[in-house]
Structure 1
Amino acid sequence: MLLTISGLPGSGTTTVSRLISEKYNLEMISAGEVFRSLAKEYGMTLAEFGALAESDESIDIKIDERQKEISNTRDDIILEGRLAGHMAEKALKVWIKASVDVRVQRIVSREGSSFKDKLDETIEREASEAVRYRTIYGIDISDFSIYDLVVDSENWNQFQIANIISCAIDNCSYSNV
């Protein structure tokens, strides 16, 4: 089974991906964790690293090409990341969404800092990513038309969302899932 789970920061993609990974014994590949670890290696904040990625598209391309390669050569994985649904040709594709205020509150709860600081950082980061995705790939990140399932994480907790995705997985007619 190949599954992609995508969404903006704080929407719950990583948490839900881990739950699905455990339930179905799937390896999880997270683009966000790769991006965060690269930012740390460079000694930069996510916003600073995002700005660097704007001027050096090889950073995004490297992460995304790796996901594309994995999706074309491996089975029984979850690709988790903003563009994972675009990188995997044949997969059950899920987008998890939530309002910016809810997402930022979650980010503050997990990382600390003030709501205003994280809101400003999140808005800057998402604007940077949107420009990069459009410039590099011609992708409009706000277009959900490629996704098989869009779930609002304001309406359900992580366990309920995992159950919704499990229903899709268990009843999926895709030959590759």
Structure 2
Amino acid sequence: MLLTISGLPGSGTTTVSRLLSEKYGLEMVSAGEVFRSLAKEYGMNLAEFGALAESDESIDLKIDERQKEIARTRDDILLEGRLAGHMAKKAMKVWIKASVDVRVGRIITREGGSFEAKLSETIGREASESIRYRTIYGIDINDLSGYDLVIDSGKWNQFQITNIISSAIDNISYF
């Protein structure tokens, strides 16, 4: 089974992906964790590293090429990341969404900081990513038409979302 979970920062993709990977025995590959570790290696915060990635396409290309290769060559994988649904052609594709206020609240819980600072950072990061995705791949990150399932994580908790996705997995015919 190949499953992709995508969404904007703070939407809950990593938490739900971990729950699903445990439930179905899937190896989880997270683009966000790779991006965060690269930012740390460069000694930058996410906003700074995102700005660097805007001028250096090789950063996104490395992360995305790794996901494409994994999707092509391995079974029983869960790819988690903003573009994962675009990187894996034959997969069940899920987008998890939430309002910016909900997402920023979760980011503060995870990382600390003030609402105003995290809101500004999140909006800047998303604008930076949107530019990069459109420039590098011609992808409009706001176009959700390619996803099999779109779930609002502001309405359900991680366990309920996992159950919704599990129901779809257990009832879909192309796995």
Report the TM range for the smaller structure's normalisation: over 0.9
Give the structure 1 partner of residue 94 of structure 2: 94
Letter in 1 for 2:11: S
Classify the secondary structure of the residue corresponding to 1:44: coil
Classify the secondary structure of the residue corresponding to 2:62: helix
Give the structure 1 partner of residue 22 of structure 2: 22
Pair 1:64 & 2:42 matched: no
Q: Compute the displacement of 1:46 (Å).
A: 0.1
Q: Tell me how far apart the structure 1 counterparts of residues 142 and 60 of structure 2 sit (CA, whole Å).
A: 18
Normalising to structure 2: TM-score of the pair? 0.99
Letter in 2 for 1:60: D
Q: Tell me how far apart the structure 2 counterparts of residues 78 and 172 of structure 1 sit (CA, whole Å).
A: 16
Classify the secondary structure of the residue corresponding to 1:8: coil
Task: Give the count of matched residue pairs.
Answer: 175
Aligned-residue sequence identity (percent) comes to 83
Q: Tell me how far apart the structure 1 counterparts of residues 84 and 55 of structure 2 sit (CA, whole Å).
A: 22
Give the structure 1 partner of residue 163 of structure 2: 163
Q: Compute the displacement of 1:173 (Å).
A: 1.1
Classify the secondary structure of the residue corresponding to 1:75: coil
Matches within 5 A, 1:6-21: 6-21=6-21
1:128-168 CA distance string (max 9 Å, x none): 00000000000000000000000000110000000000001
Q: Tell me how far apart the structure 2 counterparts of residues 125 and 26 of structure 1 sit (CA, whole Å).
A: 29
Normalising to structure 1: TM-score of the pair? 0.98
Classify the secondary structure of the residue corresponding to 2:159: helix
Matches within 5 A, 1:5-154: 5-154=5-154
List 4+ stretches of structure 1 deviating above 4 A: none
Q: Tell me how far apart the structure 2 counterparts of residues 26 and 120 of structure 1 sit (CA, whole Å).
A: 35
1:103-124 CA distance string (max 9 Å, x none): 0000001110101110000000
Structure 1 spans left out of the alignment, 5+ residues: none
Classify the secondary structure of the residue corresponding to 2:3: strand
Q: For the aligned residues, what is the CA RMSD?
A: 0.4
1:74-99 CA distance string (max 9 Å, x none): 01010000000000010000000000
Q: Compute the displacement of 1:55 (Å).
A: 0.2
Classify the secondary structure of the residue corresponding to 1:93: strand
1:2-59 CA distance string (max 9 Å, x none): 0000000000000000000000111000000000000000000000000000000000
Q: Tell me how far apart the structure 2 counterparts of residues 141 and 148 of structure 1 sit (CA, whole Å).
A: 15
Letter in 2 for 1:118: K
